[in-house]
Chain A
Amino acid sequence: MLSQILYALPFLAEGFAVTLWVSLLVVVLSLIAGVLLGVGLVYGPAPLRWAVRIFSDTIRGIPILVLMFFVYYGLPAVGVHLQSFWAAVLALTLFKTAQVVEYVRGAVASIPKGQSEAAMAIGLTFRQRLTSVIFPQAFRRFLPPWINGVTDAVKGSALVSLLGITDLMQAINQVIGRTYEAMPLYILGALIYFAVNYALSYASRRLERRFAFIRD
Protein backbone atom coordinates (compact mmCIF):
# COMPACT_ATOMS: atom_id res chain seq x y z
CA MET A 1 0.00 0.00 0.00
CA LEU A 2 2.68 2.46 1.06
CA SER A 3 4.75 1.75 -2.00
CA GLN A 4 1.74 2.37 -4.23
CA ILE A 5 1.13 5.72 -2.62
CA LEU A 6 4.82 6.64 -2.81
CA TYR A 7 4.76 5.69 -6.46
CA ALA A 8 1.78 8.03 -6.99
CA LEU A 9 3.31 10.96 -5.13
CA PRO A 10 4.81 12.81 -8.15
CA PHE A 11 1.41 12.56 -9.86
CA LEU A 12 -0.33 13.89 -6.75
CA ALA A 13 2.22 16.70 -6.55
CA GLU A 14 1.34 17.74 -10.09
CA GLY A 15 -2.33 17.82 -9.12
CA PHE A 16 -1.47 19.85 -6.04
CA ALA A 17 0.38 22.34 -8.22
CA VAL A 18 -2.76 22.75 -10.36
CA THR A 19 -4.83 23.28 -7.21
CA LEU A 20 -2.44 26.00 -6.02
CA TRP A 21 -2.32 27.61 -9.47
CA VAL A 22 -6.11 27.73 -9.77
CA SER A 23 -6.46 29.08 -6.23
CA LEU A 24 -3.81 31.73 -6.79
CA LEU A 25 -5.36 32.90 -10.06
CA VAL A 26 -8.83 33.06 -8.53
CA VAL A 27 -7.67 34.87 -5.40
CA VAL A 28 -5.57 37.47 -7.22
CA LEU A 29 -8.04 38.15 -10.05
CA SER A 30 -11.02 38.35 -7.71
CA LEU A 31 -9.11 40.66 -5.39
CA ILE A 32 -8.38 43.12 -8.19
CA ALA A 33 -11.88 42.95 -9.70
CA GLY A 34 -13.59 42.90 -6.30
CA VAL A 35 -11.77 45.97 -4.96
CA LEU A 36 -12.47 47.96 -8.14
CA LEU A 37 -16.15 46.98 -8.20
CA GLY A 38 -16.46 47.39 -4.43
CA VAL A 39 -15.16 50.95 -4.61
CA GLY A 40 -17.54 51.51 -7.53
CA LEU A 41 -20.38 50.21 -5.40
CA VAL A 42 -19.62 52.67 -2.60
CA TYR A 43 -18.52 55.77 -4.52
CA GLY A 44 -19.57 55.24 -8.12
CA PRO A 45 -22.34 56.97 -10.07
CA ALA A 46 -25.80 55.44 -9.75
CA PRO A 47 -25.77 53.27 -12.93
CA LEU A 48 -22.45 51.68 -11.89
CA ARG A 49 -23.76 51.07 -8.37
CA TRP A 50 -26.87 49.35 -9.72
CA ALA A 51 -24.82 47.26 -12.13
CA VAL A 52 -22.47 46.07 -9.38
CA ARG A 53 -25.35 45.43 -7.00
CA ILE A 54 -27.15 43.28 -9.60
CA PHE A 55 -23.91 41.43 -10.48
CA SER A 56 -23.11 40.70 -6.86
CA ASP A 57 -26.61 39.65 -5.83
CA THR A 58 -27.06 37.43 -8.88
CA ILE A 59 -23.72 35.66 -8.64
CA ARG A 60 -24.00 35.10 -4.91
CA GLY A 61 -27.43 33.58 -5.41
CA ILE A 62 -26.21 30.89 -7.80
CA PRO A 63 -24.52 27.66 -6.65
CA ILE A 64 -20.90 27.79 -7.69
CA LEU A 65 -21.24 24.47 -9.51
CA VAL A 66 -24.10 25.77 -11.64
CA LEU A 67 -21.99 28.81 -12.50
CA MET A 68 -19.08 26.59 -13.55
CA PHE A 69 -21.17 24.31 -15.73
CA PHE A 70 -22.90 27.33 -17.23
CA VAL A 71 -19.58 28.88 -18.26
CA TYR A 72 -18.17 25.64 -19.65
CA TYR A 73 -21.22 23.95 -21.19
CA GLY A 74 -23.56 26.91 -21.60
CA LEU A 75 -21.45 29.69 -23.10
CA PRO A 76 -20.50 27.74 -26.27
CA ALA A 77 -24.15 28.23 -27.29
CA VAL A 78 -23.37 31.92 -27.74
CA GLY A 79 -20.03 31.25 -29.37
CA VAL A 80 -17.77 31.50 -26.32
CA HIS A 81 -15.58 28.39 -26.16
CA LEU A 82 -13.24 28.27 -23.19
CA GLN A 83 -10.79 25.53 -22.28
CA SER A 84 -12.01 23.69 -19.22
CA PHE A 85 -9.20 25.18 -17.11
CA TRP A 86 -10.08 28.79 -17.99
CA ALA A 87 -13.81 28.14 -17.77
CA ALA A 88 -13.28 26.90 -14.22
CA VAL A 89 -11.02 29.83 -13.31
CA LEU A 90 -13.53 32.31 -14.75
CA ALA A 91 -16.47 30.81 -12.87
CA LEU A 92 -14.61 30.63 -9.56
CA THR A 93 -13.30 34.17 -10.05
CA LEU A 94 -16.78 35.56 -10.73
CA PHE A 95 -18.06 33.87 -7.61
CA LYS A 96 -15.18 35.10 -5.45
CA THR A 97 -15.35 38.61 -6.92
CA ALA A 98 -18.96 38.96 -5.78
CA GLN A 99 -17.85 38.10 -2.25
CA VAL A 100 -14.87 40.47 -2.29
CA VAL A 101 -17.21 43.27 -3.43
CA GLU A 102 -19.23 42.78 -0.25
CA TYR A 103 -16.15 42.65 2.00
CA VAL A 104 -14.88 45.90 0.46
CA ARG A 105 -18.25 47.59 0.78
CA GLY A 106 -18.57 46.55 4.42
CA ALA A 107 -15.04 47.60 5.30
CA VAL A 108 -15.22 50.98 3.60
CA ALA A 109 -18.69 51.73 4.94
CA SER A 110 -17.48 51.05 8.48
CA ILE A 111 -15.09 54.02 8.38
CA PRO A 112 -16.82 57.04 9.99
CA LYS A 113 -17.82 59.92 7.71
CA GLY A 114 -15.68 62.28 9.78
CA GLN A 115 -12.56 60.60 8.41
CA SER A 116 -13.44 61.56 4.84
CA GLU A 117 -14.39 65.04 5.93
CA ALA A 118 -11.15 65.59 7.82
CA ALA A 119 -9.25 64.38 4.77
CA MET A 120 -11.25 66.71 2.52
CA ALA A 121 -10.68 69.61 4.89
CA ILE A 122 -6.89 69.39 4.52
CA GLY A 123 -7.28 69.40 0.76
CA LEU A 124 -6.76 65.75 -0.19
CA THR A 125 -8.25 64.71 -3.53
CA PHE A 126 -10.66 61.78 -3.78
CA ARG A 127 -7.89 59.37 -4.73
CA GLN A 128 -5.61 60.61 -1.94
CA ARG A 129 -8.43 60.27 0.57
CA LEU A 130 -8.92 56.67 -0.47
CA THR A 131 -5.27 55.65 -0.51
CA SER A 132 -4.04 57.58 2.54
CA VAL A 133 -7.03 57.64 4.86
CA ILE A 134 -9.85 55.23 3.99
CA PHE A 135 -8.05 52.15 2.66
CA PRO A 136 -5.42 51.86 5.42
CA GLN A 137 -8.24 51.80 7.97
CA ALA A 138 -10.63 49.67 5.93
CA PHE A 139 -7.86 47.13 5.23
CA ARG A 140 -7.91 45.95 8.81
CA ARG A 141 -11.64 45.23 8.65
CA PHE A 142 -11.35 43.70 5.20
CA LEU A 143 -8.61 41.24 6.12
CA PRO A 144 -10.35 38.66 8.37
CA PRO A 145 -13.34 37.92 6.10
CA TRP A 146 -11.11 38.01 3.03
CA ILE A 147 -8.64 35.44 4.42
CA ASN A 148 -11.65 33.28 5.24
CA GLY A 149 -12.64 33.68 1.63
CA VAL A 150 -9.17 32.68 0.48
CA THR A 151 -9.35 29.39 2.36
CA ASP A 152 -12.80 28.88 0.82
CA ALA A 153 -11.26 29.44 -2.61
CA VAL A 154 -8.61 26.78 -1.98
CA LYS A 155 -11.25 24.31 -0.85
CA GLY A 156 -13.66 25.33 -3.60
CA SER A 157 -10.99 24.76 -6.25
CA ALA A 158 -11.63 21.02 -5.78
CA LEU A 159 -14.77 21.59 -7.89
CA VAL A 160 -12.65 22.06 -11.02
CA SER A 161 -12.10 18.29 -10.99
CA LEU A 162 -15.72 18.05 -12.18
CA LEU A 163 -14.68 19.65 -15.47
CA GLY A 164 -12.03 16.94 -15.83
CA ILE A 165 -9.13 19.10 -14.74
CA THR A 166 -6.43 17.14 -12.94
CA ASP A 167 -6.11 19.10 -9.74
CA LEU A 168 -5.27 17.51 -6.38
CA MET A 169 -8.82 16.19 -5.97
CA GLN A 170 -8.91 14.63 -9.43
CA ALA A 171 -5.40 13.20 -9.02
CA ILE A 172 -6.43 11.52 -5.79
CA ASN A 173 -9.51 10.05 -7.42
CA GLN A 174 -7.44 8.70 -10.28
CA VAL A 175 -4.90 7.08 -7.95
CA ILE A 176 -7.76 5.54 -5.99
CA GLY A 177 -9.15 4.24 -9.27
CA ARG A 178 -5.85 2.41 -9.82
CA THR A 179 -5.08 1.30 -6.27
CA TYR A 180 -8.47 1.03 -4.50
CA GLU A 181 -6.80 2.63 -1.45
CA ALA A 182 -9.59 5.16 -0.87
CA MET A 183 -9.18 5.64 2.87
CA PRO A 184 -5.47 6.52 3.08
CA LEU A 185 -5.57 8.66 -0.06
CA TYR A 186 -8.54 10.74 1.03
CA ILE A 187 -6.86 11.22 4.40
CA LEU A 188 -3.72 12.35 2.61
CA GLY A 189 -5.76 14.76 0.47
CA ALA A 190 -7.58 16.16 3.49
CA LEU A 191 -4.26 16.69 5.26
CA ILE A 192 -2.83 18.61 2.31
CA TYR A 193 -5.88 20.91 2.02
CA PHE A 194 -5.84 21.37 5.77
CA ALA A 195 -2.13 22.24 5.85
CA VAL A 196 -2.55 24.94 3.22
CA ASN A 197 -5.54 26.50 4.93
CA TYR A 198 -4.01 26.28 8.38
CA ALA A 199 -0.94 28.12 7.10
CA LEU A 200 -3.20 30.81 5.63
CA SER A 201 -5.15 31.25 8.85
CA TYR A 202 -1.93 31.46 10.81
CA ALA A 203 -0.54 34.11 8.47
CA SER A 204 -3.78 36.05 8.73
CA ARG A 205 -3.71 36.06 12.53
CA ARG A 206 -0.16 37.42 12.38
CA LEU A 207 -1.25 40.12 9.92
CA GLU A 208 -4.28 41.07 11.99
CA ARG A 209 -2.10 41.52 15.04
CA ARG A 210 0.22 43.70 13.06
CA PHE A 211 -2.67 46.00 12.13
CA ALA A 212 -4.38 45.91 15.50
CA PHE A 213 -3.07 49.32 16.57
CA ILE A 214 -6.32 51.06 15.74
CA ARG A 215 -8.62 51.03 18.72
CA ASP A 216 -12.30 50.95 17.85
Chain B
Amino acid sequence: MNTSVQPASTAPAINVGGGETRTSKAKEKVKMSAEAVKVFYGNTQAINGIDLEIFENEVLAFIGPSGCGKSTFLRCLNRMNDTIDICRVEGRITLDQQDIYAAERDVVLLRAQVGIVFQKPNPFPKSIYENIAYGPRLHGLAKRKAELDDIVESSLRRAGLWDEVKDRLDQPGTGLSGGQQQRLCIARTVAVSPDVILMDEPCSALDPIATAKVEQLIDELSESYTIVMVTHNMQQAARVADRTAFFHLGDLVEVDTTDQIFTNPQDQRTHDYITGRFG
Protein backbone atom coordinates (compact mmCIF):
# COMPACT_ATOMS: atom_id res chain seq x y z
CA MET B 1 0.00 0.00 0.00
CA ASN B 2 1.68 3.16 1.17
CA THR B 3 5.19 3.71 2.40
CA SER B 4 5.22 0.94 4.93
CA VAL B 5 6.71 1.80 8.25
CA GLN B 6 7.06 -1.43 10.10
CA PRO B 7 5.68 -0.94 13.60
CA ALA B 8 7.45 -2.47 16.55
CA SER B 9 6.46 -6.09 16.24
CA THR B 10 6.82 -6.92 19.89
CA ALA B 11 3.56 -6.46 21.82
CA PRO B 12 0.26 -7.13 20.01
CA ALA B 13 -1.12 -3.84 18.81
CA ILE B 14 -4.51 -4.31 20.41
CA ASN B 15 -6.27 -6.85 22.52
CA VAL B 16 -8.89 -8.11 20.16
CA GLY B 17 -11.45 -9.52 22.55
CA GLY B 18 -9.52 -12.51 23.88
CA GLY B 19 -7.75 -13.08 20.60
CA GLU B 20 -10.74 -14.66 18.86
CA THR B 21 -10.72 -12.84 15.55
CA ARG B 22 -12.74 -14.19 12.68
CA THR B 23 -10.77 -16.43 10.47
CA SER B 24 -10.74 -15.41 6.86
CA LYS B 25 -12.95 -17.62 4.76
CA ALA B 26 -10.67 -17.19 1.78
CA LYS B 27 -13.26 -15.63 -0.48
CA GLU B 28 -12.11 -14.82 -3.93
CA LYS B 29 -14.97 -13.65 -6.10
CA VAL B 30 -15.03 -9.85 -6.41
CA LYS B 31 -18.53 -8.51 -5.71
CA MET B 32 -17.90 -4.78 -5.89
CA SER B 33 -14.88 -2.79 -6.80
CA ALA B 34 -13.89 0.86 -6.64
CA GLU B 35 -11.30 2.45 -8.90
CA ALA B 36 -9.89 5.91 -8.22
CA VAL B 37 -13.05 7.06 -6.44
CA LYS B 38 -13.00 10.71 -5.46
CA VAL B 39 -15.83 12.50 -3.68
CA PHE B 40 -16.32 16.23 -3.41
CA TYR B 41 -18.73 18.25 -1.28
CA GLY B 42 -18.86 21.51 -3.19
CA ASN B 43 -15.21 22.49 -3.43
CA THR B 44 -14.05 20.33 -0.54
CA GLN B 45 -12.58 16.99 -1.45
CA ALA B 46 -13.73 14.34 1.03
CA ILE B 47 -12.21 11.25 -0.62
CA ASN B 48 -8.89 11.38 -2.45
CA GLY B 49 -9.00 8.48 -4.83
CA ILE B 50 -9.77 5.09 -3.38
CA ASP B 51 -9.20 1.67 -4.94
CA LEU B 52 -10.87 -1.20 -3.16
CA GLU B 53 -12.25 -4.64 -3.92
CA ILE B 54 -15.10 -6.15 -1.94
CA PHE B 55 -15.38 -9.93 -2.10
CA GLU B 56 -18.58 -11.91 -2.17
CA ASN B 57 -19.92 -13.01 1.22
CA GLU B 58 -17.26 -11.29 3.23
CA VAL B 59 -17.74 -8.88 6.11
CA LEU B 60 -15.60 -5.83 5.42
CA ALA B 61 -15.25 -3.20 8.14
CA PHE B 62 -14.24 0.43 7.59
CA ILE B 63 -12.48 1.99 10.56
CA GLY B 64 -10.88 5.35 11.05
CA PRO B 65 -11.17 8.59 12.98
CA SER B 66 -14.23 10.82 12.60
CA GLY B 67 -14.39 12.74 9.35
CA CYS B 68 -12.03 10.36 7.54
CA GLY B 69 -14.53 9.71 4.76
CA LYS B 70 -15.52 6.14 5.63
CA SER B 71 -19.27 6.86 5.77
CA THR B 72 -19.05 9.01 2.65
CA PHE B 73 -17.36 6.18 0.77
CA LEU B 74 -19.90 3.66 2.08
CA ARG B 75 -22.75 5.80 0.82
CA CYS B 76 -21.16 5.92 -2.64
CA LEU B 77 -21.60 2.17 -2.91
CA ASN B 78 -25.37 2.46 -3.36
CA ARG B 79 -25.40 6.07 -4.52
CA MET B 80 -27.10 7.42 -1.40
CA ASN B 81 -24.84 10.44 -1.90
CA ASP B 82 -27.00 11.32 -4.89
CA THR B 83 -29.52 12.76 -2.44
CA ILE B 84 -27.02 15.41 -1.36
CA ASP B 85 -27.12 18.23 -3.91
CA ILE B 86 -23.55 19.44 -3.53
CA CYS B 87 -21.98 15.98 -3.54
CA ARG B 88 -20.02 14.86 -6.63
CA VAL B 89 -18.49 11.44 -7.19
CA GLU B 90 -15.66 10.68 -9.64
CA GLY B 91 -14.06 7.39 -10.57
CA ARG B 92 -15.65 4.02 -11.15
CA ILE B 93 -17.56 1.71 -8.84
CA THR B 94 -18.81 -1.62 -10.13
CA LEU B 95 -21.24 -4.19 -8.85
CA ASP B 96 -20.77 -7.58 -10.56
CA GLN B 97 -18.53 -5.85 -13.12
CA GLN B 98 -21.28 -3.34 -14.01
CA ASP B 99 -20.58 0.36 -13.46
CA ILE B 100 -23.14 1.63 -10.94
CA TYR B 101 -22.62 5.26 -11.92
CA ALA B 102 -23.23 4.54 -15.63
CA ALA B 103 -25.87 6.78 -17.16
CA GLU B 104 -28.20 3.91 -18.03
CA ARG B 105 -28.02 2.45 -14.51
CA ASP B 106 -31.35 2.61 -12.62
CA VAL B 107 -30.40 3.93 -9.20
CA VAL B 108 -33.65 2.69 -7.68
CA LEU B 109 -32.91 -0.90 -8.67
CA LEU B 110 -29.30 -0.51 -7.56
CA ARG B 111 -30.46 0.36 -4.06
CA ALA B 112 -32.61 -2.74 -4.00
CA GLN B 113 -29.47 -4.77 -4.79
CA VAL B 114 -27.24 -2.84 -2.39
CA GLY B 115 -29.29 -2.22 0.74
CA ILE B 116 -28.28 0.10 3.53
CA VAL B 117 -28.81 0.21 7.31
CA PHE B 118 -28.23 3.52 8.99
CA GLN B 119 -26.57 4.68 12.17
CA LYS B 120 -29.79 5.63 13.91
CA PRO B 121 -32.67 3.17 13.66
CA ASN B 122 -35.22 4.79 11.35
CA PRO B 123 -38.36 2.65 11.22
CA PHE B 124 -41.21 4.22 9.26
CA PRO B 125 -44.11 5.46 11.35
CA LYS B 126 -46.11 2.41 10.24
CA SER B 127 -46.80 -1.00 11.73
CA ILE B 128 -44.04 -3.56 12.11
CA TYR B 129 -45.59 -5.60 9.30
CA GLU B 130 -45.83 -2.59 6.98
CA ASN B 131 -42.23 -1.64 7.74
CA ILE B 132 -41.02 -4.97 6.39
CA ALA B 133 -43.61 -5.23 3.60
CA TYR B 134 -42.75 -1.78 2.25
CA GLY B 135 -39.74 -2.82 0.16
CA PRO B 136 -41.21 -6.04 -1.28
CA ARG B 137 -44.39 -4.14 -2.25
CA LEU B 138 -42.35 -1.44 -3.89
CA HIS B 139 -40.52 -3.94 -6.07
CA GLY B 140 -43.47 -6.27 -6.61
CA LEU B 141 -41.72 -9.20 -4.96
CA ALA B 142 -44.93 -10.79 -3.71
CA LYS B 143 -47.93 -11.52 -5.85
CA ARG B 144 -50.30 -12.58 -3.12
CA LYS B 145 -50.84 -11.67 0.50
CA ALA B 146 -49.58 -15.09 1.61
CA GLU B 147 -46.27 -14.56 -0.20
CA LEU B 148 -45.89 -11.19 1.43
CA ASP B 149 -46.62 -12.75 4.81
CA ASP B 150 -43.88 -15.29 4.12
CA ILE B 151 -41.38 -12.60 3.21
CA VAL B 152 -42.23 -10.65 6.36
CA GLU B 153 -41.86 -13.70 8.55
CA SER B 154 -38.62 -14.93 7.00
CA SER B 155 -37.08 -11.45 7.09
CA LEU B 156 -37.98 -11.02 10.74
CA ARG B 157 -36.61 -14.48 11.48
CA ARG B 158 -33.33 -13.68 9.75
CA ALA B 159 -33.09 -10.55 11.84
CA GLY B 160 -33.78 -12.59 14.98
CA LEU B 161 -36.80 -10.48 15.74
CA TRP B 162 -39.66 -12.82 14.85
CA ASP B 163 -40.15 -14.33 18.29
CA GLU B 164 -40.17 -10.91 19.91
CA VAL B 165 -42.73 -9.30 17.61
CA LYS B 166 -44.82 -12.06 16.02
CA ASP B 167 -47.80 -11.25 18.25
CA ARG B 168 -47.79 -7.55 17.58
CA LEU B 169 -47.06 -7.16 13.88
CA ASP B 170 -49.81 -4.56 13.61
CA GLN B 171 -48.26 -2.27 16.20
CA PRO B 172 -46.11 0.71 15.25
CA GLY B 173 -42.45 -0.03 14.54
CA THR B 174 -41.53 3.14 16.39
CA GLY B 175 -42.79 1.55 19.63
CA LEU B 176 -39.97 -1.02 19.74
CA SER B 177 -36.80 -0.58 21.77
CA GLY B 178 -33.74 0.89 20.07
CA GLY B 179 -32.07 -2.46 19.50
CA GLN B 180 -35.29 -4.00 18.19
CA GLN B 181 -35.80 -1.01 15.90
CA GLN B 182 -32.34 -1.49 14.44
CA ARG B 183 -32.99 -5.18 13.84
CA LEU B 184 -36.33 -4.20 12.28
CA CYS B 185 -34.43 -1.93 9.90
CA ILE B 186 -32.05 -4.78 9.08
CA ALA B 187 -35.04 -7.07 8.46
CA ARG B 188 -36.55 -4.37 6.25
CA THR B 189 -33.36 -4.28 4.18
CA VAL B 190 -33.15 -8.09 4.02
CA ALA B 191 -36.76 -8.26 2.82
CA VAL B 192 -35.89 -6.91 -0.63
CA SER B 193 -33.19 -9.65 -0.94
CA PRO B 194 -30.20 -7.47 -1.70
CA ASP B 195 -26.78 -8.88 -2.69
CA VAL B 196 -24.84 -6.45 -0.56
CA ILE B 197 -25.83 -4.84 2.74
CA LEU B 198 -24.14 -1.61 3.76
CA MET B 199 -24.20 -0.71 7.45
CA ASP B 200 -23.29 2.75 8.64
CA GLU B 201 -22.27 2.39 12.29
CA PRO B 202 -25.27 0.15 12.93
CA CYS B 203 -24.58 -0.19 16.66
CA SER B 204 -23.49 3.30 17.63
CA ALA B 205 -26.94 4.15 19.03
CA LEU B 206 -27.40 0.83 20.85
CA ASP B 207 -26.57 -0.51 24.29
CA PRO B 208 -24.06 -3.38 24.71
CA ILE B 209 -26.66 -6.16 24.79
CA ALA B 210 -28.44 -4.92 21.69
CA THR B 211 -25.04 -4.45 20.07
CA ALA B 212 -24.12 -8.07 20.78
CA LYS B 213 -27.36 -9.23 19.14
CA VAL B 214 -26.77 -7.12 16.04
CA GLU B 215 -23.18 -8.36 15.80
CA GLN B 216 -24.36 -11.94 16.00
CA LEU B 217 -26.90 -11.14 13.32
CA ILE B 218 -24.20 -9.71 11.06
CA ASP B 219 -22.25 -12.93 11.50
CA GLU B 220 -25.27 -14.98 10.45
CA LEU B 221 -26.17 -12.72 7.55
CA SER B 222 -22.66 -13.00 6.13
CA GLU B 223 -23.51 -16.57 5.10
CA SER B 224 -25.76 -15.23 2.36
CA TYR B 225 -24.86 -11.55 1.92
CA THR B 226 -21.84 -9.41 1.34
CA ILE B 227 -21.66 -6.96 4.21
CA VAL B 228 -19.76 -3.68 4.33
CA MET B 229 -19.92 -1.88 7.64
CA VAL B 230 -18.57 1.34 9.06
CA THR B 231 -17.70 1.22 12.72
CA HIS B 232 -16.16 3.49 15.29
CA ASN B 233 -15.49 0.59 17.52
CA MET B 234 -12.28 -1.27 16.77
CA GLN B 235 -13.22 -4.21 18.97
CA GLN B 236 -16.38 -4.58 16.92
CA ALA B 237 -14.41 -4.65 13.69
CA ALA B 238 -12.15 -7.26 15.25
CA ARG B 239 -15.11 -9.35 16.35
CA VAL B 240 -17.18 -9.41 13.17
CA ALA B 241 -15.07 -8.47 10.15
CA ASP B 242 -13.15 -10.79 7.82
CA ARG B 243 -11.21 -7.86 6.45
CA THR B 244 -10.74 -4.36 7.77
CA ALA B 245 -9.98 -1.16 5.90
CA PHE B 246 -8.43 1.80 7.67
CA PHE B 247 -9.35 5.27 6.41
CA HIS B 248 -7.56 8.46 7.31
CA LEU B 249 -8.22 12.01 6.02
CA GLY B 250 -9.97 10.82 2.88
CA ASP B 251 -7.38 8.16 2.05
CA LEU B 252 -7.71 4.42 2.26
CA VAL B 253 -4.51 3.78 4.18
CA GLU B 254 -4.55 0.05 4.47
CA VAL B 255 -6.83 -2.91 3.88
CA ASP B 256 -6.07 -6.44 4.91
CA THR B 257 -7.44 -9.34 6.87
CA THR B 258 -8.65 -8.19 10.24
CA ASP B 259 -5.95 -10.26 11.90
CA GLN B 260 -3.23 -8.56 9.92
CA ILE B 261 -4.57 -5.08 10.55
CA PHE B 262 -4.76 -5.51 14.27
CA THR B 263 -1.63 -7.54 14.87
CA ASN B 264 0.70 -6.49 12.14
CA PRO B 265 -0.31 -3.22 10.48
CA GLN B 266 1.90 -2.16 7.62
CA ASP B 267 1.40 1.58 7.93
CA GLN B 268 2.52 3.78 10.81
CA ARG B 269 -0.85 5.64 10.81
CA THR B 270 -2.80 2.41 11.15
CA HIS B 271 -0.55 1.38 13.97
CA ASP B 272 -0.98 4.71 15.73
CA TYR B 273 -4.76 4.57 15.34
CA ILE B 274 -5.30 1.05 16.62
CA THR B 275 -2.98 1.64 19.55
CA GLY B 276 -5.06 4.68 20.44
CA ARG B 277 -2.52 7.44 19.68
CA PHE B 278 -5.19 9.43 17.83
CA GLY B 279 -8.81 9.21 16.81
Do A and B interact with each other, yes or no?
A: no
Interface residues of B (CB under 8 A from A): none
Interface residues of A (CB under 8 A from B): none
